[in-house]
């Protein structure tokens, strides 16, 4: 029976860390390695020990601490590298040495300055040497996708004879295209029977043309049994094949590929967040599987569909990759259905007569703000619907201020369907507004506290102004919300003044 399980070889800590600006300390690498073990990757390539003392430490630490996956160390086919690599891996329960040597004409001629025969001899010698110390040896003919296929076949046969247990075919410079890469894999398996039996054929693709995932999947279709990849697709230049894309493609389209992986896919998002946080490599919002928008629906029609049946617009269950659910991005494209559904999720079941008003207010806010977050909705409902004594309401306002001008506010406040307007000056625009409110309402207060904070995210965040106002013995507070801080201040003060007015009406004797 053919093997149906694809080995997931994670190289986030080696090739992934090679991406500019993503260097990690040994402790950070250990933290990621522990998460990779929870994700149940089969192999963790922990580092390239000869490259620095930090790499040695990281590989040593991970070898000692992380149980479950095989721990691999990278080594050039150079005796010194191999010795350092073997030493760093000493503590690992299951260890692998990953040797590489370039085989393309371009690399052999310009970089190595060696002939095919010399390259073959070195590869065979170092694989044989490695096998004296470990049972698990992977060999990569670097730049394989640009190497002469006949030479590749000869060399791979020899390194297998020398003891290599995995042969990895790297598309080092991301030059391959899926059909051709698939053909190469097919050709190698046909020409080297060991690759169809005991020896594992692996692929390692770079993303220079944005084809790393497609190339890896084409290889799987043609018989590759191991895929090398990184979390979030980080890596040298444009990165490596992204683990989450390959794993979820194989899972979602198992009907087509007919293979599985051992990955616990619910650990994908935690892994993505950890890698992004520790490397400082931000995940682009539209990145497949792990981008912030990967399970977010904005269009009203899509939102309506997802509420009715998720499968209308979702090919994967967000829970299967470790999210709590999909997101309906509540914004100006959202319809009433999505808006009410989100309110329900937030615990607000509005009465019929409240729905109209709430939806109207929401649309007003959505026009001012790009995304309306849960905090915005809660704030909106609490302030506008759940209740607040509302004798006076803000109808309109204009402010004049500036370097030379004395701040002046004109406000229109409505009560019982009538709008009263007044204009006052003040020490600042907020002070002018407060004085105008007092003039119109006839209620005077002393401002004890004024504070402002942003309650939501983004440059167009909702600001909340809180005030504490006293009048005689009475102390009241008020809150106002708006994307405009002056409007929020007016609403806050007006709500406090309304409270004072209601108290005065309801308990007149107590009012000084």
Site residues (vs ligand KIV, CB under 6 A):
15, 74, 100, 140, 142, 168, 170, 172, 204, 206
Q: Binding segment for Zn ion among 8-16, 79-87, 122-130, 486-494 (CB under 5 A)?
A: 8-16
Q: Of Zn ion, ligand KIV, none, which one does residue 81 interact with (CB within 5 to 8 Å by kind)?
A: none
Please, are residues 431 and 417 in contact by the beta-carbon 8 Å criterion? no
Q: Give 240 or 272: the residue with its C-beta nearer to ligand KIV.
A: 240
Nearer to ligand KIV, 126 or 142 (CB): 142
In this chain, which stretch among 11-19, 411-419, 446-454, 494-502 interacts with Zn ion, using CB under 5 A?
11-19
Cβ–Cβ under 8 Å, residues 481 and 455: yes
* Residue 168 vs 495, nearer CB to ligand KIV: 168
Spatial distance between the Cα atoms of 71 and 88, rounded to a whole number of angstroms: 10
Which tokens is 424 given? 């006052």
Nearer to ligand KIV, 134 or 394 (CB): 134
Q: Least distance from C-beta 489 to ligand KIV, angstroms?
A: 58
Q: How far is the CB of 142 from ligand KIV (least distance, A)?
A: 4
Which of the choices Zn ion, ligand KIV, none does residue 100 contact, using the CB cut-off of 5 to 8 A by kind? ligand KIV
When the beta carbons of 174 and 463 are compared against Zn ion, the nearer one is 174
Measured from the CB of residue 135, what is the shortest distance to ligand KIV in angstroms?
20
Question: Which residue stretches of 103-148 are H helix?
Answer: 105-106, 116-131
User: Site for Zn ion (CB under 5 A): which residue of 8, 9, 10, 15?
Assistant: 15
Sign of CA dihedral 70, 74, 78, 83: negative
Q: Does 138 bind Zn ion (CB under 5 A)?
A: no
For Zn ion, the closer of residues 202 and 482 by Cβ is 202
- To the nearest whole angstrom, how small is the minimum distance from the Cβ of residue 14 to ligand KIV? 8
Site stretch for Zn ion (CB under 5 A), options 12-20, 149-157, 264-272, 389-397: 12-20
Buried/exposed code over 377-393 (b: 16+ C-beta within 10 A; e: otherwise): bbbbbebbbeebeebbe
Phi first, then psi: give them for residue 259, nearest 5 degrees: -135, 165
Closest CA to 170 of 194, 138, 135: 138
Cβ proximity of 119 and 112 under 8 Å: yes
Q: What are phi and psi of 328, to 5 degrees?
A: -95, 115
Other C-beta atoms within 10 Å of 94: how many? 17
Residues that bind Zn ion (CB under 5 A): 15
């Amino acid at each position: 029976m053919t093997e149906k399980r694809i080995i997931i070889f994670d190289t986030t800590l080696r090739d992934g860390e090679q991406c500019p600006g993503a260097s990690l300390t040994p402790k950070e690498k250990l933290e990621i390695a522990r998460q990779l073990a929870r994700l149940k990757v089969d192999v963790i390539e922990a580092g390239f020990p000869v490259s620095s003392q930090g790499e040695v430490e990281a590989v040593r630490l991970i070898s000692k601490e992380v149980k479950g996956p095989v721990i691999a160390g990278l080594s050039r086919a150079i005796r010194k590298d191999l010795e350092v690599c073997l030493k760093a891996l000493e503590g690992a329960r299951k260890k692998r040495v990953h040797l590489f040597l370039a085989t393309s004409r371009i690399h052999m001629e310009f970089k190595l300055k060696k002939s095919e025969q010399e390259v073959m001899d070195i590869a065979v010698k170092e694989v044989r040497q490695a096998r004296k110390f470990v049972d698990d040896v992977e060999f990569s003919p670097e730049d394989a996708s640009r190497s002469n296929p006949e030479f590749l076949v000869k060399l791979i046969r020899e390194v297998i004879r020398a003891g290599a247990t995995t042969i990895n075919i790297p598309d080092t410079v991301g030059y391959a295209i899926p059909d051709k890469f698939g053909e190469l894999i097919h050709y190698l398996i046909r020409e080297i029977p060991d690759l169809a039996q005991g020896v594992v054929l692996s692929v390692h693709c770079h993303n220079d043309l944005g084809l790393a995932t497609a190339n890896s999947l084409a290889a799987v279709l043609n018989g590759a049994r191991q895929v090398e990849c990184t979390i979030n697709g980080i890596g040298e230049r444009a990165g490596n094949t992204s683990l989450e894309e390959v794993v979820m493609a194989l899972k979602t389209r198992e009907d087509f590929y007919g293979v599985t992986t051992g990955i616990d896919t619910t650990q994908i998002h935690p892994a993505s967040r950890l890698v992004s946080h520790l490397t400082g490599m931000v995940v682009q919002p539209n990145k497949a599987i792990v981008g912030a928008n990967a399970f977010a629906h904005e269009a009203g029609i899509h939102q309506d569909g997802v509420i009715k049946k998720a499968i209308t617009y979702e090919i994967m269950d967000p829970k299967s990759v470790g999210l709590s659910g999909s997101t309906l991005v509540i914004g100006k494209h959202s319809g009433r259905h999505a808006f009410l559904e989100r309110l329900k999720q937030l615990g607000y079941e509005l009465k019929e007569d409240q729905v109209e008003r709430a939806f109207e207010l929401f649309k007003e806010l959505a026009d001012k703000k790009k995304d309306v977050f849960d905090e915005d909705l809660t704030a909106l409902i609490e302030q506008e619907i759940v209740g607040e004594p509302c004798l006076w309401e803000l109808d309109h306002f204009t402010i004049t201020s500036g370097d030379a001008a004395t701040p002046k506010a004109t406000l229109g406040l409505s009560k019982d369907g009538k709008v009263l307007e007044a204009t006052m000056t003040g020490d600042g625009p907020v002070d002018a507004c407060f004085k105008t409110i007092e003039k119109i309402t006839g209620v005077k207060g002393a401002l004890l506290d004024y504070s402002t904070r942003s309650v939501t995210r983004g440059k167009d965040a909702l600001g909340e102004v809180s005030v504490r106002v006293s009048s005689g013995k009475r102390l009241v507070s008020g809150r106002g919300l708006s994307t405009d801080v002056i409007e929020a201040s007016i609403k806050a003060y007006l709500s406090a003044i309304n409270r004072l007015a209601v108290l005065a009406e309801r308990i007149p004797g107590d009012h000084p």
